[in-house]
Structure 1
Amino acid sequence: MLIGLLGHSPWRADEMVQLGLAVDVLDSEHWLAPSLGGQPILETPPWAVWCSALAIRLFVGVMPVHDAARVPGLLALLLAFWALLRWSLPRLQRRDRWAVGLSLFSALSLAIPAHAAASELWTLAAFALLMAALTRPDRRWNRTAALVGAAIALAGLSGGAQALLIAVATLATCGLVLRQRSHQLAQVVGVLAGVVPLAVWLVALQHAVGLDEWARQDPLIALLTQGGRPGGGYSSEMRGVLWSWPLWPLALMALWQRR
């Protein structure tokens, strides 16, 4: 994870945008709606931008600005790695548990974002936490609620409305399968607590600059309200899924063994 994280200039357009937004937050104090050239960029909520801005301020004078902005991405990957290890605890023998985390880094889709200031890393960590929360529903409902709350909060603040919807839909599906009252209560409490940070940001954004820009730029909201299309269109989104192909054989093998 450390190889390639530091010591190189930003070369991807999205990383340069992320860096520009983080610098704007520090220079212009646009914490609610980071902007470039006076134009708010709100395709996703600014969680990753906040983290990069705080890292830049923390490591000022220690490393270049663009290197400091990438450090939170490393923390997001470590969080995802820990969550996957926790998910594997009741399922694999001790010697096989590391394979779960290591398989995460075999995906080609992580080769570039893992070494850039990418908001997708926090979304990945959110869904890894969600998997960890659903691991052992019969133990400590308050711990499950805390993991669900953290996952929902991260999904909403890093991936926007579409990530939040997928996370809640996943929980609802699991809640129908696992009919344990304590686990269902933990899910409800976790969801209610997890949506609070996103709701607070939206209320503050409404009072500051309004919600029009967010509704226009968020892929799911734009799709529902304006007939917009996510990213480069649906075919582009599906092609992006194919970049995780190294994990498909592992997934198929696991399904075959548990048939």
Structure 2
Amino acid sequence: MLRPAHLLRNERFATWLSASPRGLALAVCATWVLIGLVGHDPWKSDEAYTFGAAYRMYESGDWLVPKIGDTPLLETPPLVYHGALVGMMALSPPFALHDAARLSVAVWLSFLLLFVGLTARELWGGNHSWIAPLMLVGSAGLLVRGHQLISTVPLLAALAVGIYGLALAPRRSQLGGLWFGVGLGFMFLARGPLDMLMLVAIAVGMAFVSPRYRNARFLKSTATAIAVAAPLIIIWPLALHLQQPALLTQWLAQTALDLRGMLVFQEHESNLYFLSVLPWFTWPVWPFALWSLWIEGKQGLSKREVQLPLVSFVAILAYLSLAAEGRDVMAMPMLLPLALLASIAITRLPRGAINAYYWFSIMVATVFSLVAWVYFSAAQFGFPTRLAEHIFRLQPEYQPEGRILAILAGIAVTLVWFVLVFNVKRSAERPFILWAAGITVGWTLAVLLLFHWIDARKTYRSMVVELSAHMPEEYKCVISQDVGS
């Protein structure tokens, strides 16, 4: 061991820390879920309008129709807004309204990680099922977008619930059908009927490839799912019909238009967009998913453990490619089946690959942490000079403030990282734990040290303050026309 490591290594602590990798993984996941949810404004553009609509509901008491001002937002049903509302009502004060709203995301992320872990346990037992949530935590695509107040996050949680129901259905038909139905219903409430088709396509695909999903038991599961999902799907459109039927007609017309856009090919669409973002968005999950397919071989294609995540990935990718909404945020559902596939490889990696991933994890997290400190030094103290000039050129309105608590917290987080590196004992799981922990440490340092600068760049606050200063006092709002057209 390197001599400086003796300062951070304690055998009794290392033994205790490594005795329960599942507990360590839980601590990493819990930290990752909570970090980054408070302390910054709603970011442009998705989060800003989501919070704006939730705040309008909060002020008006109208929970039925999300609106910005008096303009209805009918792109999605109101699940994400209702979650934000509950957060605002329960947690503000002490938190600011936008932070309290964003804390609702922690609930969706917790459900996401829980049900991905449950699915992994159902598919191949409980020994390493906790690796699948760690794969999600360590993925590049979920880090920033997963901590934003956007409708894709509850959609992701609902998809995880539905896939768990499909995994459980062959063994416990009614309980599996119940979770399948809950997933369908909440996918509808999160994003509407079209995105719900992802889960439907997965179920149909499994019926094609596996005899376990072509029998009376799965038919019973499907009937249970329909019975559970139907009230969840009907409740919002029915309430809309009873109170504002014109808006229901408008929503149905928009949904039909979106469906037509999926089915009719247009030259300007980029149907390969999601394949193009796959390598970086799902890093480092996809190499392990490919390795799992390789080691399982042709025989693995007949196993439900491989079939369900593989069919899920193909169905999700096909749906997203048809939808042709070329935005990285919509790629998030692809992470779920890839994480499930990747976790198969944990016990069957060559020793050389395990060691390489271990050192790669340490290198990436350490460099990430060092970069955070260097950028903070440039933004806060003006050193290095050229980097500081570049930072202030990108965001001239940023004003450095006294950040002694952030500095102390950042030092503590950095020390925690090195303590983990020198005290987690060698095992097949160690690289996966350290990768997820390293990403969490880097994310925490970014939150502590850089979010003030990032927030100044991503918020609408300065624009609104300047606009308010130039508005006559008798005017309390701004009317928009053809915004975004």
Alignment TM-score > 0.5, same fold: yes
Shift of residue 15, structure 1, vs aligned partner: 0.6
Instruction: Identify the match of residue 32 of structure 1 among 49, 58, 64.
Output: 64
Check 1:86–1:12 CA distance in 2 against 1; reply closer, same or farther (3 A cut).
Answer: same
- Structure 2: gaps (5+ residues): 1-32, 298-485
Q: Is the 8 A contact 1:40 1:213 kept in 2?
A: no
Q: Is the 8 A contact 2:163 2:180 kept in 1?
A: no
| Secondary structure at 1:6 match in 2 | coil
- Tell me the residue number matched to 1:9: 41
Instruction: Identify the match of residue 188 of structure 1 among 223, 235, 241.
Output: 223
Q: Which moved more, 1:203-212 or 1:20-29?
A: 203-212
Instruction: Identify the match of residue 205 of structure 1 among 240, 247, 258.
Output: 240
Shift of residue 99, structure 1, vs aligned partner: 1.3
Q: Is the 8 A contact 1:85 1:97 kept in 2?
A: yes
What pairs with 1:1-259 in structure 2 (closer than 5 Å)? 1-92=33-124, 94-176=126-208, 177=210, 178-209=213-244, 210=246, 211-218=248-255, 221-224=256-259, 233-235=269-271, 238=274, 243-259=281-297
Q: Is the 8 A contact 1:156 1:195 kept in 2?
A: no
Shift of residue 121, structure 1, vs aligned partner: 1.0
CA deviation digits over 1:136-180, x for unaligned, max 9? 334332211221111011111112122111212222222343223
Q: Which moved more, 1:135-144 or 1:181-190?
A: 135-144
How many residue pairs were aligned?
A: 256
| Secondary structure at 2:167 match in 1 | coil
Check 1:216–1:112 CA distance in 2 against 1; reply closer, same or farther (3 A cut).
Answer: farther
AA partner of residue 247 (structure 1): V
Indicate the percent of aligned positions where both proteins have the same amino acid: 25
Check 1:103–1:56 CA distance in 2 against 1; reply closer, same or farther (3 A cut).
Answer: same
Shift of residue 241, structure 1, vs aligned partner: 5.2
Q: Is the 8 A contact 2:163 2:199 kept in 1?
A: no
| Secondary structure at 1:96 match in 2 | coil
| Secondary structure at 1:17 match in 2 | helix
Q: Is the 8 A contact 1:33 1:41 kept in 2?
A: yes
AA partner of residue 203 (structure 2): L
Q: Is the 8 A contact 1:153 1:194 kept in 2?
A: yes
Shift of residue 117, structure 1, vs aligned partner: 0.9
AA partner of residue 116 (structure 2): L
Q: Which has more radius of gyration?
A: 2
Shift of residue 9, structure 1, vs aligned partner: 1.6
CA deviation digits over 1:101-160, x for unaligned, max 9? 110122222122222112111111111112211223343322112211110111111121
Q: Is the 8 A contact 1:127 1:155 kept in 2?
A: yes
Q: Is the 8 A contact 1:70 1:116 kept in 2?
A: yes
Q: Is the 8 A contact 1:74 1:114 kept in 2?
A: no
CA deviation digits over 1:178-202, x for unaligned, max 9? 2231222112221332132222211
Shift of residue 235, structure 1, vs aligned partner: 4.8
CA–CA distance in structure 1, aligned partners of residues 103 and 198 of structure 2: 27
Q: Is the 8 A contact 1:175 1:184 kept in 2?
A: no
CA–CA distance in structure 2, aligned partners of residues 3 and 54 of structure 1: 20
Check 1:150–1:76 CA distance in 2 against 1; reply closer, same or farther (3 A cut).
Answer: same
| Secondary structure at 1:97 match in 2 | coil
> Which structure shows the bigger proportion of residues in helix conformation?
2
Check 1:224–1:4 CA distance in 2 against 1; reply closer, same or farther (3 A cut).
Answer: closer
Q: Is the 8 A contact 2:56 2:66 kept in 1?
A: yes
Check 1:166–1:201 CA distance in 2 against 1; reply closer, same or farther (3 A cut).
Answer: same
CA–CA distance in structure 1, aligned partners of residues 278 and 75 of structure 2: 19
CA–CA distance in structure 2, aligned partners of residues 217 and 4 of structure 1: 34
Q: Which moved more, 1:48-57 or 1:162-171?
A: 162-171
CA–CA distance in structure 2, aligned partners of residues 240 and 48 of structure 1: 25
CA–CA distance in structure 1, aligned partners of residues 261 and 128 of structure 2: 48
CA–CA distance in structure 1, aligned partners of residues 189 and 165 of structure 2: 18
Q: CA RMSD in A?
A: 2.5
CA–CA distance in structure 2, aligned partners of residues 127 and 151 of structure 1: 6
Shift of residue 35, structure 1, vs aligned partner: 0.6
Q: Which moved more, 1:167-176 or 1:17-26?
A: 167-176
| Secondary structure at 2:92 match in 1 | coil
Q: Is the 8 A contact 1:149 1:191 kept in 2?
A: yes
TM-score (norm 2): 0.49
